[in-house]
């Protein structure tokens, strides 16, 4: 029997600008960029558990699953940088 890596949780550091974009709120207090928007941005990639919070520091967390983990992570980083800046 042999075990293989199928999913990995990543912690991606955010710049001050990226964190500020994620922290922006509408006048009613709801987030400008929601988890749903990020999930839609990353579809159909095999990524889940996307999370960021002021309490977790300047990091965005996500779990990648599947056979091409490195390729998926590269695509996630590319898409997030397009949305949030570098």
Q: Where are the domains of the chain?
A: 7-84
Q: Evaluate if residue 80 carries a pLDDT over 80.
A: yes
Over residues 11-19, the mean pLDDT reads 93
Per-residue pLDDT of 18-73, as tens digits, reads 999 999 999 999 999 999 999 999 999 999 999 987 677 899 999 999 989 999 99
7-84 has CATH 3.30.70 classification: no
Over residues 4-23, the mean pLDDT reads 92
Q: Evaluate if residue 15 carries a pLDDT over 80.
A: yes
Question: Which pLDDT does position 55 carry in this prediction?
Answer: 73
Helix (H) or strand (E) holding 57: none
Question: Which pLDDT does position 53 carry in this prediction?
Answer: 78
Residue in the block written with tokens 């520091």: 57
- Please state the pTM of the whole predicted model: 0.86
Question: 29: which residues sit within 8 A by CB, 6+ positions away?
Answer: none
Rg, Å, the chain Cα set: 14
Question: Which pLDDT does position 54 carry in this prediction?
Answer: 67
CA–CA gap between residue 27 and residue 82 (Å, rounded): 25
Bridge partners of 61?
A: 11, 51
């Amino acid at each position: 029997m042999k075990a293989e890596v199928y999913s990995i949780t990543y912690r991606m550091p955010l710049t001050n600008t990226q964190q500020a974009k994620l922290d922006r709120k509408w006048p009613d207090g709801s987030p400008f960029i929601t988890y749903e928007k990020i999930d839609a941005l990353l579809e159909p990639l095999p990524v889940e558990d996307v999370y960021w919070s002021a309490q977790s520091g300047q990091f965005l967390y996500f779990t990648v699953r599947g056979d091409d983990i490195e390729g998926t992570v590269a695509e996630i980083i590319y898409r997030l940088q397009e949305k949030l800046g570098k």
